[in-house]
Amino acid sequence: MPKHRRDLPLVYSCSGCSSAAQMTNWLAIQLDRRGVAEMSCIAGVGGDVPSLVRKATSGRPVIAIDGCVLQCARHCLARHDVTPTVHHLLSDDGVRKRLGEDFDESEAQTVLDGILTRLDTALDPSPSDEGAHVHADR
């Protein structure tokens, strides 16, 4: 585990209003609290806030978690030519987008377990892959 937060990958979640989008926020918070990634603000990146754009474009690995096919987090990053190292789309996990409802906590835990497994592979390249950009999009 890195000694400093600045050595961690950045994680962005779409954090929209649907149940799936709110699950992305919970997932990003879990990655942050467990020391797997540093959560940063996708609204600030999409809104061109200079300090948050600098962080997003700093060259650190980026994890983007989107709740649905609109892929708002990915599109906000693309505005600044940032391609996520890992892009996770909850709809690919069968997570349904529901308005006016909370996300299912047990489903969120299952998705988190899958993301953690995926990140172990995508963000820890083997010695032969050192220096290579790993793109683990689905």
Q: List alpha helices for 5-130, DSSP H.
A: 19-33, 42-46, 50-56, 72-78, 105-122
Rounded to 5 degrees, what angle do the CA atoms 47, 56, 39 make? 90
Q: Write down the pLDDT at residue 96.
A: 96
Q: Write down the pLDDT at residue 86.
A: 97
Q: Write down the pLDDT at residue 1.
A: 56
Range of the domain at 76: 5-117
What is the number of domains present in the chain?
1
In a domain, 44, yes or no: yes
Q: Write down the pLDDT at residue 5.
A: 86
In a domain, 89, yes or no: yes
134: Cβ–Cβ under 8 A, 6 or more apart, which residues?
Answer: 85, 86, 122, 123, 125
Q: Write down the pLDDT at residue 137.
A: 47
In a domain, 102, yes or no: yes
In a domain, 131, yes or no: no
Q: Write down the pLDDT at residue 89.
A: 97
In a domain, 123, yes or no: no
- Split the chain (138 residues) into runs of 10 and give each run's mean pLDDT: 82 95 98 97 98 98 97 98 98 96 98 96 63 41
In a domain, 26, yes or no: yes
Please state, in angstroms and rounded to a whole number, the distance separating the CA atoms of residues 99 and 18.
5
In a domain, 133, yes or no: no
Q: Write down the pLDDT at residue 131.
A: 40
Q: Are residues 39 and 11 in contact, defined by beta-carbon separation less than 8 angstroms?
A: yes
Based on C-alpha coordinates, what's the Rg of the chain?
14
In a domain, 127, yes or no: no
